[in-house]
Homo-oligomer: A and B are copies of this chain.
Amino acid sequence: MSRRSILDWLFGKRISTLREEQHQIGPLAGVPVLGLDALSSAAYGPEAALTLLLPLSALGLSYIVPLSAVIIAILLCVYFSYRQTIAAYPGGGGSYTVAKENLGPRFGLFGGAALALDYVLNVAVGISAGVGALVSAMPRLLPHTLGLCLAILAVLTIVNLRGIRESGLVFMFPTYGFVITLGAVVVMGVVQSVASGGHPEPVVPPPALPAPVQAVGAWILMRAFASGCTAMTGVEAVSNAVPIFREPTVLSAQRTLTAIVAILAALLGGIAYLAHAYGIGATEPGQVGYQSVLSMLVGAVVGRGVFYYLTIAAIVAVLAFSANTSFADFPRLCRILAVDQFLPGSFAVRGRRLVFSQGILLLAVLSGVLLIAFGGITDRLIPLFAIGAFLAFTLSQAGMVQHWRRVRDHQPVYALLINAVGALATGITLVVVAVSKFAEGAWVSVAVIPLLVLLFARINKHYRSVAAQIETIAPLEMPPPQPPIAVLAAGSWNKMTQHGLKFALRLSPDVYVVQVKTETDNTEDLSDNWELLIANPAHAAHIPQPKLVILPSNYRQFFKPFLDFVLKLSSDNPKRDIVVVIPDLVMNHWYESILHNNRGAFLRTILRVRCPSRVVVVNTPYHLE
């Protein structure tokens, strides 16, 4: 297969810009593309909260329902906020855009940096959580943890490079499998629970709750609440990627968000209710007898049959592929930052399948490095994760509050109130998370986010400085009529040198043939046969004689004598262009060029940096058979 057909096979054929509409998606594909992160939260949010309530034993269980109610209420605030954000920013309005437009560019960069960090962490943490669940089910896969992580990363990267629609199709199966199986368990559990008057009989009883070791206090409830709030991460994904939806774009995006939040809220509420009804608490992670809350819950409701394993498999798949949301959003964030010149412009270039390929590749490389550095076990990265998510939430909601204050006349006041409540709640959560997890690693995020902001600012400063230096609206000034002076870098007399000299003679009446004689040149002096080979034919054709210059080099240097000659020639002829002609042998295979000294390439680099703008370099290619 040729290189092109391999690329076509792996990533799909190039798609024309004109066919963009055919590659946009609707809500059905939107949920797998943008909802996997949020939906997978149902698998770990309740677990995280219950783990913190563990010291309270059965009493803790009675708090899980009200805590979940508060979380779902905030989730609905966030939902209404982002619904409105989507309508207000149909070009894609993540925290970066909303904060920039409403709070100022510096806040926007903080939002962008927080999101960028989170998307990278989400890929590493999501994949490693899925693989972790898989290897705990099949312990003989344990030695291959890192390999499995990288394989999943590769699959995600390739599927996303193939396009948005393709990634929606591929991940539809695990996503809806998860929603249907876990949804069925929740419905069955609730029905049984209600039918039994609130005290259902578990099919497989969960382990007995340990004795309480701590009294209820505000701090423990607050921390449980903060941990449970991780269930909300990923909700903002849709608002960032509005343009991937087909017409009516805003409506499609809002429907997708509605579907994601509705499913998530139902699952969260159902799980909390069932945990209380069946008496299921968390077990100590890393201890013998550890079992996830969802595993106990599914076992209690439907027993350990085929359906149990189907549900657990769907949960594992959704965890592993929850990174897909980052793959949809991170490249779009990079694109917006690139358009605003905070990142190199190539991040705004759509690749062969209309996705921002460079952003996808950068995300794959960064998260791959994290996975390798942590050996595929990224638990220690989770505390880093929450800071970014809640900083982005808070900035976005605060931005929306400001937005409503500006457009107050046209909007009902409850819109502002919803966002204000959301901003307050997520802001408090941010502070709680930062304080309680600071020593566990959240300090890394606190340090990295400002550094990223600084990097963005420096990049922007560079681009603005370059633009200021090269911008002009002046019309062309007219060039002087003189032809350039040509300088040929010559070795021995061969077809390659001849080809270069012919080009130089066609270009200019003033040609210098320059040979640097270092001791190791076994090449003969060009002066030996100068008359015969060059001077006489030039005379016969009535063209001006080229001038031979032999530069001695007692210190066996090649570049310095040549550079000095060109610099002198340039200062002696301050009004003329100087074209340095370097004969260049083109090999058939790249590895053959290892065997040839790359003086030409070095010479070009040195002349480019050291000579004035009037000196240009031409390589005259001579192709071998």
A472 within 8 Å of B (CB atoms): yes
Q: Is the CB of B478 within 8 A of A344?
A: no
> Which residues on the B side are within 8 Å of A519 (C-beta)?
17, 350
Query: Are B608 and A470 touching (Cβ within 8 A)?
Result: no
Verify A554–B16 contact, CB threshold 8 A: yes
In A490-505, the 8 Å CB interface with B consists of 493-496, 498-499, 501-503, 505
Q: Which residues, 110 to 169 on A, are CB-close (under 8 Å) to B?
A: none
Given A470-B494, A534-B476, are A618 and B616 neighbors across the interface (CB < 8 Å)?
yes
Q: State whether A520 and B349 are in contact (beta carbons under 8 Å apart), knowing that A494-B471, A577-B506, A616-B620 are contacts in the complex.
A: yes
CB pair A472 B499 closer than 8 Å: no
CB within 8 Å for A616 and B613 given contacts A17-B554, A537-B476: no
Residues of chain B lying within 8 A (CB to CB) of residue A555? 14-17, 352
A608: chain B residues at CB < 8 Å are: 584, 586, 619, 621
- Tell me which residues from 449 to 505 in chain A have a Cβ below 8 Å from any Cβ of chain B: 459, 462-463, 466, 469-484, 493-496, 498-499, 501-503, 505
Is A291 interfacial (CB 8 A cutoff)?
Answer: no
A407 at interface, CB cutoff 8 A: no
CA distance A532 to B611 in the complex (A): 32
Find chain B residues with CB under 8 A from A344 CB.
594-597
Is the Cβ of A613 less than 8 Å from the Cβ of B621? yes
Contacts of A503 in B (CB 8 A): 479, 577, 616
User: Is the Cβ of B624 less than 8 Å from the Cβ of A475?
Assistant: no
A458's closest neighbor in chain B, by CB? B595
Closest chain B residue to A555 by CB distance? B14
Q: In A523-544, which residues have CB < 8 Å from any B CB?
A: 532-534, 536-538, 540-541, 543
A543 touches B621 (CB 8 A): no
| Residue among B470, B496, B505 making CB contact with A495, cutoff 8 Å | B470
Q: Given contacts A483-B506, A484-B506, is CB(A478)–CB(B541) below 8 Å?
A: yes
Given A17-B519, A472-B495, 5 additional A-B pairs, CB 8 A: A470-B622, A471-B495, A472-B493, A476-B501, A507-B577
Task: Please give me the residue from chain B that is nearest to A534 by CB atom.
Answer: B476
Q: Tell whether A348 is near chain B: CB-to-CB under 8 Å.
A: yes
Q: Which of A342-360 contact B (CB under 8 A)?
A: 344-346, 348-352
Q: Is the CB of B621 within 8 A of A616?
A: yes
Quick check: is A579 within 8 A (CB to CB) of the other chain? yes
The CA-CA distance from A495 to B534 in the complex, in Å, is 40
CB distance from A381 to the nearest CB of B (A): 27
A478 neighbours in B (Cβ, 8 Å): 537-538, 540-541, 543
A538 to B503, CA, bound (A): 27
Q: A16-B554, A475-B537, A484-B506 are in contact. Are A624 and B466 (CB under 8 A)?
A: yes
Q: How far is the CA of A344 from the CA of B503 in the complex (A)?
A: 28
User: Considering the chains assembled together, what is the distance between the CA atoms of A494 and B469 in angstroms?
Assistant: 9
With a cutoff of 8 Å between Cβ atoms, the chain B residues found around residue A595 in the complex are 344, 459, 462-463
Interface residues on chain A, size class: 35 or more
**Subset of 6 A-B contacts with CB under 8 Å:** A346-B597, A348-B520, A472-B493, A475-B532, A475-B536, A616-B621
A62 interface residue (CB < 8 Å to B):
no
The answer to whether A51 has its CB under 8 Å from any CB of chain B is no
- Show the binding face of A for B, using Cβ within 8 Å: 14-18, 339, 344-346, 348-352, 459, 462-463, 466, 469-484, 493-496, 498-499, 501-503, 505-507, 518-520, 522, 532-534, 536-538, 540-541, 543, 554-557, 577, 579, 584-586, 592, 594-597, 604, 608-609, 611-613, 615-625
Assess the A597–B345 pair: CB atoms within 8 A: yes
A575 CB to closest chain B CB, in angstroms? Answer: 11
Instruction: List the B residue with the shortest CB-CB distance to A480.
Output: B506
Q: A479-B506, A586-B609 are in contact. Are A520 and B350 (CB under 8 A)?
A: yes
Chain B residues, Cβ within 8 Å of A622: 470, 613
* Cβ contacts under 8 Å, A620 to chain B: 613, 616
Q: Which residue of B lies closest to A348 (CB)?
A: B520
Q: Is the CB of B538 within 8 A of A476?
A: yes
Residues of chain B with a CB closer than 8 A to A623's CB:
612-613
Given A16-B555, A344-B594, A462-B592, decide whether A533 and B476 contact each other with a Cβ distance below 8 A: yes
**A18 touching B577, Cβ below 8 Å:** no
List B contacts of A473 (CB < 8 A). 493, 533
Write out the residue numbers on chain B whose beta carbons fall within 8 Å of the beta carbon of A471.
494-495
Cβ contact within 8 Å between A350 and B506: no
Residues of B within 8 A of A484 (CB): 506-507
Query: How far is A151 from B498 in the complex, measured between Cα atoms in Å?
Result: 49
Contact A556 B17 (CB under 8 A): yes
Report the Cα distance A15→B557, complex, angstroms. Answer: 11
Chain B, residue nearest A624 (CB): B469
* In the complex, chain B residues whose CB is within 8 Å of the CB of A584: 608
**In the complex, which residue of chain B has the Cβ closest to the Cβ of A614?**
B503
**Top 4 nearest A-B pairs by Cβ distance?**
A478-B541, A470-B494, A479-B506, A16-B554
